[in-house]
Amino acid sequence: MVNLFKGKRFKGMRFIGVGCRLWFVLIFVSVFLGIHCRWDTSWASPYESSPHAVTLEADVVAGHELIRTARMDQDHAKISAPEEKSASNEKQLSGEKQSSGDMEDSEDWPEDELSEESIFPDPLEPMNRAFFAFNDAAYFWFFKPVGEGYRYVMPEVLRVAVRNFFTNLSMPIRLVSSLLQGKIESVGMILVRFVVNSSAGFLGFEDVAKQALDYPVQDEDLGQVMAFYGVGPGFYLNLPFLGASTLRDTAGWVGELYLNPLDYIVEDWWPNMGVRAFYMTNNVSLRIGEYEALKDASLDPYVAMRDAFFQYRMNQIEK
C-alpha cells in the first residue's frame, strides 16, 4: 500500500516537473514573441497594426486633411465674395460642394474597411480555423445537446450554485494574480469573498459576498499578470475544446493548473477529467444561445469570435 502510494506520488511529481518545464518554455516563447509583437499604442493593448492597416489609416488622415483644406478655402471664398454673385459662380460653388461631399463619401470607405479588416496577429489562421471548425462541430453535435439535457433536469438555481462553487474553489488563481500585480484592494476583496462564501455561502454554493457586501468576482489571471509586466500576447490561438486564446494566455493557463485546488483534491486523471467535464457542461447550460447569436450576426464567425475575444481581453487588462 505504501509502495503504491509512493508510486502515485512519484508519477504525480514527474507530471508536475514536466508541466513546469513546459510552462517555462511557453513563457519564454511568449516573452520573445511578445517583445517583437509589441504595439506602439499601449503595452496593454492586444492589437497590432499591420502595414496594410497603417497605409489605410494614412490614406484616411490624408483625406481628412484635404477635405478640411477645401472647406477652409470655401469658407474664405464665401466671406470675401460680394453679396451678389453671378449664376456661374453659384454653379461653380455648388460643384465644389458636391465634389467635397464626394470626397467625404469616399473617405468613409477606407474607415469601414479598416474596421472590418483584421489587424490582429494571427499567423496560424489556417490551423486556428481548422480548430475553430472542430470546436464549432463539437459544440453543436455534443456540448449543446448535453447542455440542453442537463438544463432540462437541473434547475437554474442549482446550476448557478455549481458555478459559484467552482468560482470560489479557484480563488488562489485570482489571489496570486492580484498579488503579483500589486492590486491590494482586489486582494482584500478576494479574501473576504472566500471567507464569507465558504462559511455563510455553504462552501461557495451561494455568492453571499456579492449579494450582501456587493463584492463582485475579481476576474484576474496569470495572463493579465504577464501583460502587466509588459509581455505581449504573441499571436492568436484557437485551441481544441478551450477555444480562443493567445500564446501569452495559454502560458498563463498552464501555470494556473498548478494554482487550481481541484488538481490537488482530485489527483487521479480520469476523475479529474470527469469533474472538469461536469464543470464545462454546467457552464454550457448557462450560456446556450450566446454563441449562436454571435454566429448568426456575423458574416465570418471565426473573425467575429477572434475580435470579440481580443476586445474582451483588452478590457480585462486595462482595468
Taking only the tens place, the pLDDT of each residue in 182-192 is 999 999 999 99
> What does 213-236 look like in DSSP terms, one character per residue?
H--------HHHHHHHTT----SE
pLDDT band at 319 (very low <50, low <70, confident <90, very high): confident
Name the grid cell of 193.
Answer: 469573498
Distance from the Cα of residue 9 to its chain's centroid = 36
Other Cβ atoms within 10 Å of 52 Cβ, number: 12
CA 302 → CA 15, 83, 112, 119, 132, distances in Å? 34, 59, 19, 14, 7
Select the more confidently predicted residue: 125 or 113. 125
Given a cut of 80, is residue 161 above it in pLDDT? yes
pLDDT band at 315 (very low <50, low <70, confident <90, very high): very high
Rounded CA separation 232/235 (Å): 9
pLDDT at 136: 97
* Encoded amino acid at 126, one letter: P
Q: Minimal CA–CA distance to 163: which of 194, 204, 130, 122?
A: 204
Q: What is the mean pLDDT of residues 6-21?
A: 46
pLDDT band at 138 (very low <50, low <70, confident <90, very high): very high
Q: What is the mean pLDDT of residues 233-250?
A: 95
Which range among 112-126, 200-214, 246-260 shows the weakest confidence by mean pLDDT? 112-126
Rounded CA separation 205/200 (Å): 10
Given a cut of 80, is residue 83 above it in pLDDT? no
pLDDT digits (tens, 9 = 90+) for 264-286: 999 899 999 999 999 999 999 99
Given a cut of 90, is residue 243 above it in pLDDT? yes
pLDDT at 254: 94
Given a cut of 60, is residue 209 above it in pLDDT? yes
The residues, ordered by sequence, that sit 6+ positions from 251 with a Cβ below 8 Å of its Cβ are 23, 26, 27, 29, 30, 222, 223, 226
Instruction: Please answer whether residues 284 and 146 qualify as being in contact, where contact means their C-beta atoms are separated by less than 8 angstroms.
Output: yes
pLDDT band at 119 (very low <50, low <70, confident <90, very high): low
Rounded CA separation 227/177 (Å): 11
pLDDT at 235: 94
Given a cut of 90, is residue 22 above it in pLDDT? no
Mean of pLDDT over the chain:
76
Select the more confidently predicted residue: 84 or 298. 298
CA 300 → CA 25, 204, 245, 272, 279, distances in Å? 33, 39, 18, 35, 29
pLDDT at 318: 87
Instruction: Please answer whether residues 64 and 107 qualify as being in contact, where contact means their C-beta atoms are separated by less than 8 angstroms.
Output: yes
